[in-house]
Amino acid sequence: MIGLFLNFHVSLIINLLKMEREKESAILLGATGLVGSHLLERLLEDEHYSQVKVFSRRPVGLSHPKLTEVLIDLFELENYREEFTADVVFVCIGTTRKKTPDLETYKKVDYGIPYTAAKLVSHNGIKKILVVSALGADAGSRIFYSRTKGEMEEAVLAQKIPKTYIFQPSLITGDRKETRMGESAGEKIMKVVNPLLFGSWKKYRSIKASTIAASMHRVARHGFYASRIPSDEIQDIADHYQDIKDRKN
């Protein structure tokens, strides 16, 4: 009887230690943004993650025992190689022409920061990176926005990180801290247009920031068959994830 009791507790301790070893640490860039803020909440709530390290130019405005903030100028990210250690890296960085009218600065944000992050991931032997890009990203495009995103994707993929996932959302909707008139009008139009887009046009439907965050959270844990994930598949992954949660409840 005593032997069975001891065996049970030894087995329990071994399983607990195994669970602790299987936990991951995460780095998040863009935690104060629309997608990043939703993703941060998910990572902090998920017991699978033992630590969430945020690199940002300003505080995220919350306190959590798993949260570590590294407040820096993200244009100087390459100088923080030693601090840039984790099991998985999430990059939710992006700007707009209205917010960043200077094209050189715009490219430093949308191309430079994700590319630098990918180089650090590769250099430090991190095996997993997830990056938010945009639908229509194309390095050969005449449109500056699409070309920049396309060049960024190619630069990230060129680092040959074993598990690289690039999310390509359509128009992102959600409650923003700043008002963007063009995007606000676009959201209203897409509410009417979305139901009319199906089949091969389904990927052009607008998508909620919280949905993108849910999809990234899911893919980080369970992977995906492709490196590039278009907007309709981002939605499908999040819907499937929610279905599983609902069945468990």
| Residue segments in the chain with a per-residue pLDDT below the cut of 50 | 1, 4-6, 8-20
Domain that holds residue 154: 23-176+207-248
* pLDDT at residue number 36: 98
* pLDDT at residue number 17: 40
* pLDDT at residue number 16: 39
Determine, yes or no, domain membership for 104. yes
The total number of structural domains in the chain stands at 1
Determine, yes or no, domain membership for 197. no
CB atoms within 10 A of CB 138: 15
* pLDDT at residue number 99: 86
**Of 217, 214, 237, 239, the residue nearest 225 (C-alpha):** 237
* pTM (two decimals): 0.85
* pLDDT at residue number 174: 87
Determine, yes or no, domain membership for 190. no
8 Å CB contact between 78 and 116? yes
Determine, yes or no, domain membership for 49. yes
Determine, yes or no, domain membership for 88. yes
Determine, yes or no, domain membership for 183. no
The CATH number covering residue 126 comes to 3.40.50.720
**Of 145, 130, 149, 138, the residue nearest 214 (C-alpha):** 130
Determine, yes or no, domain membership for 133. yes
Determine, yes or no, domain membership for 202. no
